[in-house]
Amino acid sequence: MSRIVMKFGGTSVADLDKIANAANKVAQEVENGNQVVVIVSAMSGKTNELVGWVRETKPDYDQAEYDAVVSSGENVTSGLMALRLQQMGIKARSWQGWQVPVKCTGHHEAARIDDIPPENMNAAFDAGYAVNVVAGFQGVMDDNRIATLGRGGSDTTAVAFAAALKADRCDIYTDVDGIYTTDPRIVPNARKLHRISYEEMLELASQGAKVLQTRSVELARSYHVPLRVLSSFEDDISDKVGTVVCREKDIMENIKAVKGVAYSRDEAKVTLVSVADRPGVAAAIFGPLADAGVNVDMIVQNISEEGRTDMTFSCPVDQVLRAEKALKAAHEADDINYKEIIVDDIVAKVTIVGNGMRSHAGVASKMFKVLADEGVNIRVITTSEIKVSVLVDRKYMELAVRALHDAFELETA
């Protein structure tokens, strides 16, 4: 007998029909002889509604109350899923985070799962429950108050249960049928990947492919949980479908240097011109930005003149005002010194990702040549062992993605 975790996101449990559809998939796994833990999100739209009420009631809301309110959406779907499974003759029950318990630490609204003692859940399986349905996205703090894990947290819940209950795999059911070489809306011949490594998935996820929450992939990597992404809306749930995210050594097909192309449309580039170049200047700039909640991504420093430097970074467009405010305050406080701030808020980021880059030389230079041939000017470059990212003018983003997808022949395996 295997034990598996199945996670259904908001669009997969959006209404009673969708819940019934998801329950059918659970029933298949039960018929296959598996013990199943089902993790559910709130019906799509519900969480946004609840968050809206919280923000309207108190714009600078108490995050513990936010968690108490917003977690209720998952409670509803977990009960309805258990009822639907019972209606199909399957012995099932629901669990809210505190009942398991899913022990959390850290900050409300962005809590981390600290521990999931498996005793209660194992006792339920021993008592004959074929399915334990758990409300995702939530847990309980030491002081018995409810915690939530941040948007997309149900993926993390699923992986954490798979690790705690030593599940054989963790299937993430969603509204796409797997991970693609790039966004098929931009490149129609994008190819679905059968397998991808945790590291590659992390780069794709953080680089703008929105299928899996980054933390869930990190957690899966730490605990070697085989993750599978597959569609809620297709009948086949056999091994043949979806994309498995697993260890690099479990992937046989890694012949290519580049595995996928990711993008992020709404980026901004901020340049501090002629910063006094002294030890500690980077900390003086990026400390206040972090305190202001600005997610700085790429950072480039160029020497411009003797003793002065230009400092460039990128961040999401909607954080630019916050960034400027923090930098001006630091300037007025004499913590940093610069001539001016130049903002370019119509850029986008394009990234190529692949474990194969480690062994293939010349991948970055090929990328630059492809973009140059298309007349796409590169504003900023950053690299890691398994990815190269560039900032380009936003209007060239789709062109760049298509050109790179073609050049690295990602449409074929």
> Where along the sequence are the contacts to a copy of itself (CB under 8 A)?
16, 19-20, 50, 53-54, 56-58, 61-62, 64-66, 68-69, 71-73, 75-76, 78-80, 82-84, 86-87, 93-94, 96, 98-99, 144-146
Nearer to a copy of itself, 19 or 376 (CB): 19
Peptide bond into 226 cis (omega under 30): no
Nearer to a copy of itself, 92 or 163 (CB): 92
For residues 248-264, b (16+ Cβ closer than 10 Å) or e, as one string?
eeebeebebbbbbbbbb
- Count CB-CB contacts under 10 A for residue 345: 15
* Closest by Cα among 1, 5, 45, 2 to 25: 5
Nearer to a copy of itself, 82 or 347 (CB): 82
Tell me how far apart the alpha carbons of residues 405 and 392 are, in angstroms, rounded to a whole number.
16
Alpha helices in 32-117 (DSSP H): 46-57, 63-70, 72-87
Q: How far is the CB of 95 from a copy of itself (least distance, A)?
A: 9
Nearer to a copy of itself, 57 or 238 (CB): 57
Q: How far is the CB of 237 from a copy of itself (least distance, A)?
A: 22
Nearer to a copy of itself, 87 or 295 (CB): 87
Q: How far is the CB of 67 from a copy of itself (least distance, A)?
A: 8
Q: How far is the CB of 141 from a copy of itself (least distance, A)?
A: 11
Q: How far is the CB of 85 from a copy of itself (least distance, A)?
A: 9
Strands of the sheet containing 340-353, edge to edge, are 299-305, 308-316, 260-276, 340-353, 387-393, 378-384
Q: How far is the CB of 97 from a copy of itself (least distance, A)?
A: 11
Q: Which residues are CB-neighbours of 8 under 8 A, at least 6 positions away? A: 22, 38, 39, 40, 41, 81, 173, 232
Residue 385 φ/ψ, nearest 5 degrees? -55, -35
Nearer to a copy of itself, 65 or 374 (CB): 65
387 in Cβ contact with 368 (< 8 Å): no
